[in-house]
């Protein structure tokens, strides 16, 4: 189940609300409803919310898809968007596995790295990208206020009210 945590910015000292998924989402993932809803919401923000030409050029949506619907089901559109997001990042020099799956990051640290790949988790990149898209767009930061924002799916907002110190996938 997706959840939130608080993190203090290293440079600003400001406390930010950030999010994580509990289990993997995508091709072969656990695909729990609330985790999928969070991924779908962030993909929507990244590919459909930016208003600047720079962001639109850097993060083009799939040409044959009108929107990234938030359904809680990891179907073909969600899997294609996960693969598309990772492909765009790889084309920009990020070392990411070329699959259609997002794993939660460890220790509520979006900068954490996988124990096997030694690279930053793609979900951390997705969260950071959504935050950056909102910051560059101007106006209210939907990402920071996902729990309260009226645009957030109600089931997702309820799940995000929970807090944890670690994604359940890594608790042993």
List the chain domain ranges: 3-170
Name which of 106, 29, 136 is nearest 75 in CA terms.
29
CA angle 109, 115, 117 (to 5 degrees): 105
CB 55 within 8 A of CB 142: no
Could you read off the pLDDT of 122-153 as tens digits, one per residue? 999 999 999 888 776 654 567 888 999 898 99
Question: Does position 172 have pLDDT exceeding 80, yes or no?
Answer: no
Low-confidence winner among 4-18, 23-37, 120-134, 147-161 (lowest mean pLDDT): 4-18
**Does the predicted model carry a pTM greater than 0.85?**
yes
| 135-161 burial code (b ≥16 CB/10 A, e <16) | eebeeebbbbebeeeeebbeebbebbe
- How many angstroms separate the CA atoms of 110 and 105, rounded? 6
Distance (Å, whole) CA 93 – CA 87: 10
Q: What is the pLDDT of residue 19?
A: 95
H-type alpha helices, the chain: 33-48, 53-58, 76-91, 122-137, 154-160
């Amino acid at each position: 189940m997706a959840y939130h945590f608080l993190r203090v910015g290293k440079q600003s000292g400001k406390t930010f609300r950030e999010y994580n998924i509990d289990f993997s989402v995508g091709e072969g993932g656990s695909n729990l409803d609330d985790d999928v809803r969070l991924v779908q919401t962030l993909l929507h923000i990244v590919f459909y919310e930016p208003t600047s030409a720079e962001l639109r050029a850097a993060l083009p949506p799939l040409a044959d898809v009108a929107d990234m619907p938030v359904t809680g089901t990891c179907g073909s559109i969600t899997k294609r968007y996960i693969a598309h997001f990772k492909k765009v990042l790889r084309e920009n020099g990020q070392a990411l596995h070329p699959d259609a799956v997002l794993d939660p990051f460890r220790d509520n640290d979006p900068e954490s790295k996988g124990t096997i790949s030694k690279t930053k988790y793609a979900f951390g990149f997705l969260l950071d990208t959504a935050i950056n898209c909102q910051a560059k767009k101007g106006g209210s930061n939907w990402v920071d206020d996902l729990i309260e924002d009226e645009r957030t799916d109600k089931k997702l907002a309820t799940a995000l009210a929970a807090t944890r110190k670690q994604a359940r996938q890594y608790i042993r």
